[in-house]
Chains A and B, each alone.
Chain A
């Protein structure tokens, strides 16, 4: 089983497919759960503390907006944890907690910088069966090509 980082990091389809083919998705939801279930973070509606932008300095310079650094405080460790990655480009709905274009660019850049197996595909257009098939086939073949039983030892 391999830890696969998905981009968009909150995608239902990608998260489901990674799990369906026997791997562990590294997704935003799980990290958010860790964040909000710690005792120190209990100030609704905020779930980011002033500590996060400081942690984000590891991934982005101090001139970069705090929002990017705050997001990178969550996304950065996910990228470091990953043993493989799936990047879906041209996602038409990259907003919600995915809403920062600069964070998205930095996330994709940092995933590509890691020396791990990476698949890049385009989001299928709505209602286009052939594109959806290509999307699913490519992801399925990629996930099947990853080792199943033993954890990849990346040093």
Chain B
């Protein structure tokens, strides 16, 4: 419906790298002379602007450490009053919990991507087992 009228794009760049800090990514974006806005956050940056410019800048940032910088699109603009904490009376914004959970997993995912690039062989892992009832009972009793 609104296609073509407003082709701005917001991307969340999450940095989970040992060699690139969020400020490095932010500096790289500031250096680009395109008309984009960025917001630095605790997990990385949010980049808003024309689609082509955002895609180009984000690609440059990802190239800093390809397997440890992750990107996804965001529906709302940074500071949108339907999501921004400042207008909602504080607390985490909707969607933050999921993002935070995934951010905690990124170091292992990054390592796995490194291993995939190195073509490291995959070890067989057994099926996940649920906790045995007897074991759970023992644990409960041991707390008493």
B112 A129 Cβ-Cβ under 8 A: yes
Tell me whether B73 is interfacial, beta carbon within 8 Å: yes
Docked pose: A31 CA to B75 CA in angstroms = 7
The answer to whether A36 touches B82 (Cβ under 8 A) is yes
Q: Do the beta carbons of A44 and B112 come within 8 Å of each other?
A: no
Contact of B112 among A29, A127, A135 (CB under 8 A): A135
B74 to chain A, nearest CB (A): 6
* B90 in the interface (beta carbon within 8 A): no
Least Cβ distance of A19 to chain B in Å? 7
Assess whether B70 is in contact with A44, with CB atoms less than 8 Å apart. no
Are A16 and B125 closer than 8 Å at their CB atoms?
no
Give how many B residues have a beta carbon under 8 Å from the other chain's beta carbons. Answer: 42
> Are A132 and B104 touching (Cβ within 8 A)?
no
CB distance from A103 to the nearest CB of B (A): 15
Assembled-state Cα–Cα distance A131/B74 (Å): 28
Interface pair B75/A127, CB less than 8 Å apart: no
A-chain residues with CB within 8 Å of residue B98 when the two chains form the complex:
8, 10-11, 93-96, 98
Q: B73 touching A126 by the CB < 8 A rule?
A: no
CB of A57, distance to nearest CB on chain B (Å): 21
Task: Please pick, from B2, B14, B81, B94, the residue contacting A44 in the complex, using a CB distance under 8 A.
Answer: B81
A122 near B: Cβ within 8 Å? Answer: yes
Is A38 engaged at the interface, CB distance under 8 Å to the other chain? yes
